[in-house]
Amino acid sequence: MTLDENWFSEPHQDIIGFSLRIREKLHEEQTPFQKIEIYDTVGFGKLMVIDGCVMLTDRDNFIYHEMMAHPVLFAHPAPKNVLIIGGGDCGTLREVLKHDCVRLATQVDIDERVTRLAEQYFPQLCDSNDDPRARLRFDDGIAHVKNAEPGSVDVIIVDSTDPVGPAEGLFSTAFYRDCLRALGRDGLLVQQSESPLLHADPIIRPMHDSLRAAGFADIRTIHFPQASYPSGWWTATIAAKDGRVGFHREQAAEALAFQTEYYNAAIHRAAGATPEFLRRKLQG
């Protein structure tokens, strides 16, 4: 929603909100799946909004995209085949393809218009769309995972919107069971899991419960700042098909072969620390 013609504001749970001063609205459209708006803001660059919720800004998207990609990829001993569900802005895909060990990265987003608008307004996020290892698919991610060949994927990244509308099924036990089947040995899943301050009970704890019910052997939630998301504190939850969620390629992370803006090995280790209030909730 907008406070007036000079501000975009996203209220949350009727208790907090995040606002950005805007110069102008650059685009608005209703797709078959969702409403997409693009703004030019003061200080945060371009802003993409989906169904009234901030999806990304020029200024801080690098934190989210790096933390959705690098911790899980460095936690896998040899990630070659990566599946991204959602992620239509292509920022996570770009980060995944910085890893030379990745041979195939398939991105499946139900709404092609998110990608086409990202190519127009956030071209820096789409630098890797023409990489020969990239496959862009515009389809139902839930169906794609269900139909995947068993054991064919090393890492699944669920870069989804909030668990409402088209994304609701991406937070279900049934979906996680299909992910478990699609993952090979040492397979890992990571999914954005919202704010621990605001969503520990409605989202993070039920996600842990559903992942366990689906058969995942170990689950760990990592933490990072995200100024433009509700509360400014965000998480991603990593689940291991077998064994523990570790840091298998720690040496490679210490000597990064590519440039990042937020992620490094120290951040990786620190992000896995769990605050006491969340630890108690997750232990039930």
57 labelled ligand-binding: no
SS3 assignment for 194-236 = ECHHHHHHHHHHHHHHHHHHHCCCEEEEEEEECCCCHHHEEEE
162 labelled ligand-binding: yes
Catalytic residue among 58, 60, 111, 159: 159
Q: Catalytic site residue 14?
A: no
89 labelled ligand-binding: yes
Helices (H), 104-172: 112-121, 141-146
By the 8 A CB rule, do 145 and 169 touch?
no
31 labelled ligand-binding: no
40 labelled ligand-binding: no
268 labelled ligand-binding: no
161 labelled ligand-binding: yes
Angular region, 282: left φ>0, alpha ψ -120 to 50, beta rest: alpha
85, burial (CB in 10 Å: exposed 0-12, middle 13-18, buried 19+): buried
**Cβ within 8 Å of residue 253, ≥6 positions away:** 70, 74, 247, 264, 265, 268
Q: Which residues are paired to 69 by β-bridges? A: none
What Cα–Cα distance (Å) separates residue 105 from each residue in 80, 101, 152, 188? Answer: 8, 11, 12, 14
Phi, psi of 39 (to 5 degrees): -120, 155
160 labelled ligand-binding: yes
> What's the CA gap between 201 and 185, in Å, rounded?
31
Q: b/e per residue, 124-159, with b = 16+ CB within 10 A?
A: ebbebbeeebbebeeebbbebbeebeeeebbbbbbb
Active site residues: 159
Feature table: binding site: 34, 65, 89, 109, 140-141, 159-162, 166
Feature table: binding site for spermidine: 65, 89, 159-162
Feature table: binding site for S-methyl-5'-thioadenosine: 34, 109, 140-141, 166
